[in-house]
Amino acid sequence: MTPMPAPTPQSTSHIPTTRHSNAVQDAADNNKAMAATPKLSATNLKFYYGAFEALHGITMQVYDKRVTAFIGPSGCGKSTFLRTLNRMHETIRTSRVEGQILLDGGDIFQLEVSALRRRIGMVFQRPNPFPKSIYDNIAYGPRINGMTKSKSEVNDKVEQSLRRAALWEEAKDKLHESAYSLSGGQQQRLCIARALAVDPEVLLLDEPCSALDPIATAKIEDLIFQLKDSCTIVIVTHSMQQAARVADFTGFFLLGNLIEFDSTTVIFKNPAKKETEDYITGRFG
Ligand SMILES: Nc1ncnc2c1ncn2[C@@H]1O[C@H](COP(=O)(O)OP(=O)(O)OP(=O)(O)O)[C@@H](O)[C@H]1O
Ligand SMILES: [Mg+2]
C-alpha cells in the first residue's frame, strides 16, 4: 500500500464515513501510522481446521493506535484470523497455523501465551461475563497478573476500567451485584472493561455490537473512538456503516482471502477491487 493521497472531502458514497469529517487530516494520520513499525504484522498466514484450509495466506499490517475493521460475508475467515492474532485458536485441537505473526516485530508464537493474551485482549460477539460480581469480573485479571497489591489499588483499577468502558455511572452503585444483573449492552461494556483492566496494547473485538440495540451500539462505538488514543483496536463487523464510522483502516475478506486492505475512506469510496465494490454496494454477501 503506497501513501494515500488526501481524498476529496466532498467525495460521494452511500455509506457515510461520519467520524471522518476531515478527510485530509485522516489521510495524513493514516500515512503517519503506516510509516511507523506496525503493531501487528501477518505474513502469508494459513490456517487449517483439520484438512480444511480456512485462510489461504493472509499478509497484512495492523497499525499502532488505529482502528482496523474486518468486513466480509459470513464464513470468510474474519473470526479465524482475529482469533489467531492472540492464539485463541490453540483451544481448537485440530487447528494448525502456517506463516508468521509479529507483535512489535517479535514472533507471537515465541511468547508465553498468557503474556501474549495480556498484551492482546479479546471481546467476543456474545457478552461472556464470569459468574461473579461486576467488581470481581474486573478485579480478576489485575489480581492474577500481580498488577494490584492493595485493596485500594484494586478499587482504583475497577473504577478506572469501568470509566474507560463508559459503564461507571451505570454500575457504581451495584458493584457487588452479579454481572448477570446487567443488560446485554452493559454486559458487553463490562467485558470490554474486563479486557481493559490488564492494560492491553491491542484489543480484538469480534462483532461486539451484533446483539445490541442502537443506543448501546453507539456507546461502544464512542468508546472505540476514545480508546484508540491508548490502544490498537481490531474489530470484526457485519455493519459496513459501523466500519465506516469507527475504522481508520478496513480489510475485506472473501473465502479465506484478504481481497483488499486500505484506508477506510478508500475501501468505501474508491475500492481497487471489483469484489470489494460488489460487497460494499450490496451486490453480494
Ligand atoms: N471450530 C471450527 N472447526 C471447523 N471449521 C471451522 C471452525 N470455525 C470456523 N470454521 C470454518 O472456517 C471458515 C471461516 O470461519 P470464520 O468463523 O472465521 O468466519 P467468519 O468470517 O468469522 O464468519 P461470520 O461472519 O459468520 O462470523 C468457515 O468455513 C467455517 O465453517
Ligand atoms: Mg465470525
Domain ranges of the chain: 38-132+200-280
Q: In this predicted model, what pLDDT tens digit does every residue of 56-94 receive, in sequence order? A: 999 999 999 999 999 999 999 999 999 999 999 999 999
How many angstroms separate the alpha carbon of residue 127 from the centre of ligand 2? 14
Q: Which fold has domain 38-132+200-280?
A: Rossmann fold (3.40.50)
The reported pLDDT for the residue numbered 4 is 57
**Does 10 or 261 have the greater pLDDT score?**
261
How many angstroms separate the alpha carbon of residue 97 from the centre of ligand 1? 15
The reported pLDDT for the residue numbered 34 is 81
Q: Is the pLDDT confidence value at 249 over 70? A: yes
- Residue 144 CB contacts under 8 Å (≥ 6 apart), including other chains: none
Residue 92, C-alpha cell as written in the block: 481448537
Q: In this predicted model, what pLDDT tens digit does every residue of 203-245 receive, in sequence order? A: 999 999 887 888 888 988 998 998 888 999 999 999 999 999 9
- Residue 122 CB contacts under 8 Å (≥ 6 apart), including other chains: 82, 83, 86, 88, 195, 203, 204, 205, 206
Is the distance from the beta carbon of residue 77 to the nearest atom of ligand 1 less than 6 Å? Answer: yes
Is the distance from the beta carbon of residue 71 to the nearest atom of ligand 1 less than 6 Å? Answer: no
Q: What's the predicted TM-score (pTM) here?
A: 0.90
